[in-house]
């Protein structure tokens, strides 16, 4: 019951933050294209979008990639970081929306090196089973998760 409430609260917070923000983060990463118009995509995960090995495998793959990079030196003010992105029909990941929230649940900026570390780590999660249309073809999808980061930029938890 407690974890359900926490998940609901964090998802509600993420929705409020996304509605308050007009941009993702200050730096453009490599170009990304979806296979269908981006405005036709759902902004919540498809029920048929799965990660091979499920949530445990996603957490392990992301954590391994995140911890393999050099830690960002400047402490972050963001305690919770919401990561939302698209996975196109070819399994490519891009078009990130990343927002930070302090321990006081206020929106805060995320340092660019930490954003780069999160984007690079997320792109290492490549074991997606994409949803399919009626014709059996892969279609684009979205995914989001929340990172709990301590003041030393160490990953404490991945909330899915």
Number of H helices, E strands in the chain: 3, 7
Output the pLDDT for position 37: 74
The C-alpha atoms of residue 75 and residue 17 are separated, in whole angstroms, by: 22
Total domain count for the chain?
A: 1
Domain that holds residue 59: 2-159
Give me the half-sphere count of Cα atoms (radius 13 Å) on the Cβ side of residue 114.
28
With 0-12 / 13-18 / 19 or more C-beta atoms within 10 angstroms meaning exposed / middle / buried, residue 125 is: buried
Q: Residues with Cβ < 8 Å from 152, sequence gap 6 or more?
A: 71, 75
Task: Please give the chain's pLDDT, 160 residues, in tens.
Answer: 555 545 444 444 444 444 433 334 444 456 788 887 766 666 555 557 899 999 999 999 999 999 998 777 777 788 999 999 999 999 999 999 999 999 899 999 998 999 999 999 999 999 999 998 889 999 998 899 999 998 877 899 999 9
Among residues 81, 79, 104, which one has the least CA distance to residue 21? 81
């Amino acid at each position: 019951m407690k974890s359900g409430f926490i998940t609901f609260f964090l998802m509600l917070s993420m929705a409020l933050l996304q509605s308050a923000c007009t941009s993702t983060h200050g730096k453009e990463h490599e170009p990304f294209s979806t296979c269908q118009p981006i405005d036709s995509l759902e902004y919540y995960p498809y029920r048929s979008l799965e990660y091979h090995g499920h949530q445990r495998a996603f957490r392990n793959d992301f954590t391994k990639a995140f911890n393999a990079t050099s830690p960002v030196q400047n402490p972050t003010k963001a305690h919770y970081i919401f990561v939302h992105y698209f996975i196109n029909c070819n399994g490519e990941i891009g078009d990130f929306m990343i927002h930070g929230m302090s321990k006081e649940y206020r929106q805060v900026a995320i340092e660019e090196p930490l954003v780069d570390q999160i984007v690079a780590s997320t792109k290492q999660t490549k074991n997606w089973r994409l949803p399919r249309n009626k014709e059996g073809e892969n279609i684009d999808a979205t995914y989001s998760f929340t990172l709990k980061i301590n003041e030393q930029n160490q990953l404490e938890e991945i909330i899915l």
